[in-house]
Chain A
């Protein structure tokens, strides 16, 4: 069964902390994405990557960075967490011929 695995289901961090969210896929997909999902705002794209060491800004990149050192792994970094970054974070992967496959999500709370 193909999978996208997010390292944590729930995470609580303090304001100002550096936060790493990890995502691993086992489908050899070229594309990987980070979204956040908030009530009433839907899914919003933060960053995406079409290849190793390549990244592009999505719709709401401010306050975030990403890293893709290996094809299967895409990390989302919150340089200095703030309370307005409390959200559900979803990772997805796809290939040019395959639709998005999502992870189970990480619910991050910043206090």
Chain B
């Protein structure tokens, strides 16, 4: 059974204070690992897809990396508008199209 564990559950940062969110996963053949951002009362919004170990993707202050066991979402010099819940999900080769989600990390960035 595919499993995704995200840590920490909550993270509070000062504006400009860089940090990383962790997503550990077990999957029977990784088809893809996905990061989403979710604002309160809204649906998750897609950020990145990573397919193989060593791959990296960047978007503004966010950078996602992938190893064979975990993924990191690095946030460089965050701003208050980066405050949200960040979700990680995996799809396996045996369950094409069906995602397993972690519980998310809620990030709060204080000005």
Q: A residues engaging B (CB < 8 A)?
A: 4, 30-31, 33, 40-43, 45, 48, 50, 88, 90, 92, 94-96, 99-105, 107
Greatest chain A CB density within 10 A among B45, B46, B49 is at B46
What sequence of 0s and 1s flags, for each residue 10-39 of chain B, a beta carbon within 8 Å of any chain A beta carbon? 000000000000000000000010101000
Report whether B46 and A42 are in contact in the complex, using a CB–CB cutoff of 8 Å: no
B76 at the interface (CB under 8 A from A): no
Query: Interface residue tally of chain B, by bracket?
Result: 20 to 34
Enumerate chain A residues within 8 angstroms of B98, measured Cβ to Cβ: 33, 45, 48
Enumerate chain B residues within 8 angstroms of A30, measured Cβ to Cβ: 97
Looking at the assembled complex, report how far the CB atom of A86 sits from the nearest CB atom of chain B, in whole angstroms: 15
Report whether B45 and A94 are in contact in the complex, using a CB–CB cutoff of 8 Å: no
| Closest partner residue, chain A, to B97 (CB atom) | A31
Complex Cα distance, B91 from A31, in Å, reads 13
| Closest partner residue, chain B, to A10 (CB atom) | B41
Q: How many interface contacts (CB-CB < 8 Å) are there between A and B?
A: 47
Report whether A90 and B46 are in contact in the complex, using a CB–CB cutoff of 8 Å: no
Q: B residues engaging A (CB < 8 A)?
A: 32, 34, 36, 41-46, 49, 87, 89, 96-99, 101-104
**A43-B41 CB under 8 A given contacts A96-B96, A99-B49:** no
**A107-B41 CB under 8 A given contacts A42-B102, A99-B46:** yes
